[in-house]
């Protein structure tokens, strides 16, 4: 059988050393057996080069006007302040945006784009187009400046792919990641598109969403960094299938955003200082909201009808991630019990009686943080698959004396930043739904991956070909699983603006296989707990008893 030809890729850049996400992309391409980093196509122009500050200033004032130029400079000042604030919280985010690295393409080619009077639209001469065609690239990726137009869009088999770090159905233009923070959006979107002559209206090949970080620089770094994962997936599938993904439907194009006005930049800085002051005050006076658990004697879809019963938090702890188990020993609820002193959690068990809910004791404790005690039964044995991201593993424990004695049975996945694992058996296979952070950079809420195995106790389960099967912080993170009448309902978390676990959504799993995953949303009831609360991120039910956690 002949060897599969490599997909030849060209990156269009502004030359010099590349932004970190571009060098990450180039380095990743170079490591893939079916991809080839064929060429770096370097755009040369005095407008893109270092220096010539006065000439650039004259160009901006002449073609964009003094007011827009002043707005740009004021926003740069606001960005510097924001960058300093971000550095105190997430140093790696600032370092990621600041780092520059050389690219290692097989060939480097210089081109000289013709730049429009506005400074935004770039076209190429016929000579440069022929130069690019002679590289025999299969696809180009825009990683530099300019809105590309003209023959460059059609000079390779698969055209030009481009990132847009914003959901173009809501936020077109830029700056990337700013307006979502300004408007306190729960998620920040991005698309990868095949460019056309329609501004921000190319063929959308992938649409993803990450949680919105509370600072602009932090949010910008996060959405740029994680959008690379989608490009990796598109290029891998393109090399394998020799075709681009199905074009996503585009209902409408959103509002076109530009650099913030001076009053908008000032308003953003004021809101940011207020937010940070609030956080500092809560920390100093120990007045931050905490998690707790509420129990209903009702089906999961009826918890809006009756008032739930609160389980008191133990002294010095909060409890969350409840899992209800209807066992031969009675009804139990297993929870994450987080100690404020130790700064980590263990798994505790509570027994649900007719009159009250009683703490039984610690079910599992390690020298690292544990949470999300997902429990299921196989061949009359209870198994526990908790979150063990602190060990960079997905572990499976076996019960030796219910409910308080457990032993390590096997390790399902290693060397992974994975949280909230859920396991079930269907179609002669064991399935694992888990939220993984592919970069280990702190986002465990945007990706849902599927793994499978014929043997529950096997190590290193196989990955679904479509991973990540969901790339969306409004539903990807697991918040519970319920199986009834051969139906499976997955509860997914909605991440809020500066709030982990804003709400829950319910999805029925309609298809799961070694190559794909599908689910459809179903109605999710309101949670009736008798008090105001900020969020909820977990639901578990045995049918007659349902437990949720709330942030209040």
pLDDT one-digit tens code per residue, 524-552: 998 888 788 999 999 999 999 999 999 99
Q: What is the DSSP string of 196-227?
A: -SSTT-SEEEEEEEEEPPSSHHHHHHHHHHHH
Give dist(CA 271, CA 30) in Å, integer: 43
Q: What is the pLDDT of residues 435-445, one digit of tens each?
A: 999 999 999 99
- More confident of the two residues 200 and 115: 115
Q: Does residue 272 sit in helix, strand or coil?
A: helix
Whole-number pLDDT of residue 48: 56
The pairing of beta strand 470-471 with beta strand 462-463: unpaired
pLDDT, position 1: 45
Task: Note the pTM of the prediction, 2 decimals.
Answer: 0.93
66 has pLDDT over 70: no
CA distances from 160 to 28, 142, 177, 180, 225 (A): 19, 7, 23, 27, 20
CB 114 within 8 A of CB 47: no
- pLDDT, one tens digit per residue, over 286-295 is 878 899 999 9
Would you place residue 146 in the very low, low, confident or very high pLDDT band (cuts 50, 70, 90)?
confident
Q: Are strands 160-164 and 187-194 parallel, antiparallel or unpaired?
A: antiparallel
Mean pLDDT of 198-203: 80
Q: How confident is the model at residue 202 (pLDDT cuts 50, 70, 90)?
A: confident
50-60 mean pLDDT: 55
% of the chain beyond a pLDDT of 90: 77
Rounded to whole angstroms, the Cα distance separating 424 from 430 reads 6
Q: Whats the size of the chain, residue-wise?
A: 552
Instruction: Give the domains, in start order, of the chain with CATH numbers.
Output: 7-281 (3.40.50.170), 289-551 (2.115.10.20)
Does position 116 have pLDDT exceeding 50, yes or no?
yes
For residues 506 and 287, the answer to whether their CB atoms sit within 8 Å is no
Cβ-based neighbours of 284, under 8 Å, separated by 6 or more: none
From the list 503, 527, 516, 498, the residue with the least C-alpha distance to 180 is: 498
Per DSSP bridges, beta strands 203-211 and 171-173 are unpaired
Per-residue pLDDT reduced to its tens digit, 13-41: 987 677 888 999 999 999 999 999 999 99
**Could you tell me if 476 and 470 are in contact, meaning their C-beta atoms sit under 8 angstroms apart?**
yes
Model confidence pLDDT, tens digit, residues 449-474: 999 999 999 999 999 999 999 999 99
Listed in order, strand segments (DSSP E) in 218-340 are 255-257, 291-296, 309-311, 317-327, 330-339
**Calpha distance 374→352 (Å, rounded):** 18
- To which residue do tokens 């869009």 refer? 153
What CA–CA distance (Å, rounded) separates 302 from 546? 9
| 232 pLDDT above the threshold of 80 | yes
Q: How many helices (H) and strands (E) does the chain have?
A: 8, 35
**What is the pLDDT, as a whole number, of residue 249?**
80
Burial of 9 (0-12, 13-18, 19+ CB in 10 A): buried
Computed over every residue of the chain, the mean pLDDT equals 92
At residue 547, the pLDDT reads 97
């Amino acid at each position: 059988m002949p060897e599969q030809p490599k997909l030849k890729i060209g990156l269009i850049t502004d030359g010099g050393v590349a932004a970190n996400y571009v060098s990450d992309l180039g380095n990743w391409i170079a490591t893939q057996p079916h991809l080839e980093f064929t060429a770096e196509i370097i755009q040369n122009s005095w407008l893109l080069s270092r220096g010539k500050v006065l000439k650039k200033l004259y160009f901006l004032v002449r073609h964009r006007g003094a007011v827009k130029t002043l707005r740009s400079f004021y926003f740069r000042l606001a960005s510097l302040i924001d960058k300093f604030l971000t550095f105190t919280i997430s140093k790696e985010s600032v370092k990621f945006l600041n780092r520059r690295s050389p690219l290692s393409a097989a060939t480097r080619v210089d081109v000289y784009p013709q730049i429009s009077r506005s400074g935004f639209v770039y076209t190429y001469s016929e000579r440069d187009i022929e130069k690019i065609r002679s590289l025999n690239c299969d696809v180009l990726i825009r990683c530099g400046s300019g809105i590309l137009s003209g023959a460059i869009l059609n000079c390779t088999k698969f055209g030009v792919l481009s990132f847009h770090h914003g959901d173009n159905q809501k936020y077109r233009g830029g700056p990337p990641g700013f307006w979502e923070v300004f408007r306190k959006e729960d998620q920040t979107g991005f698309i990868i598109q095949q460019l056309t002559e329609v501004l921000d209206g190319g063929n959308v090949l992938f649409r993803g969403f990450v949680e919105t970080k509370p600072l602009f620089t932090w949010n910008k770094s996060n959405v740029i960094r994680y959008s690379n994962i989608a490009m990796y997936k598109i290029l891998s599938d393109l090399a394998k299938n020799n075709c681009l993904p199905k074009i996503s439907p585009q209902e409408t194009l959103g509002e076109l955003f530009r650099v913030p006005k001076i009053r908008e930049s000032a308003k953003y800085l004021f809101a940011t200082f207020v937010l940070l002051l609030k956080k500092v005050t809560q920390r100093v006076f120990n007045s931050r909201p905490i998690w707790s658990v509420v129990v209903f004697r009702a089906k999961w879809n009826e918890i809006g009808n009756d008032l739930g019963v609160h389980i008191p938090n133990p002294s010095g702890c909060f409890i969350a991630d409840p899992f209800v188990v209807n066992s031969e020993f009675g009804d139990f609820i297993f929870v994450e019990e987080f100690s404020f002193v130790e700064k980590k959690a263990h798994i505790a068990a509570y027994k649900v009686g007719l009159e009250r809910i009683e703490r039984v004791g610690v079910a599992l404790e390690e020298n690292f943080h544990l949470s999300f005690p997902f429990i299921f039964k196989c061949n009359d044995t209870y198994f526990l698959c908790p979150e063990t991201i602190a060990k960079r593993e997905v572990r499976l424990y076996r019960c030796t004396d219910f409910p308080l004695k457990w032993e390590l049975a096997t390790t399902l996945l290693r060397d992974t930043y994975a949280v909230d694992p859920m396991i079930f058996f269907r179609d002669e296979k064991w399935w694992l739904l888990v939220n993984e952070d592919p970069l280990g950079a702190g986002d465990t809420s945007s990706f849902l991956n599927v793994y499978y195995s014929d043997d529950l106790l096997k190590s290193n389960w196989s990955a679904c070909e479509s991973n990540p099967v969901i790339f969306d912080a409004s539903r990807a993170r697991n918040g519970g699983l319920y199986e009834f009448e051969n139906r499976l309902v997955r509860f997914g978390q909605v991440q809020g603006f500066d709030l982990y676990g804003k709400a829950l959504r319910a999805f029925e799993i309609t298809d799961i296989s070694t190559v794909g995953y599908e689910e459809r949303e179903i109605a999710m009831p309101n949670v009736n707990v008798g008090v105001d609360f900020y969020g909820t991120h977990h639901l578990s039910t045995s049918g007659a008893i349902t437990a949720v956690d709330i942030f209040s």
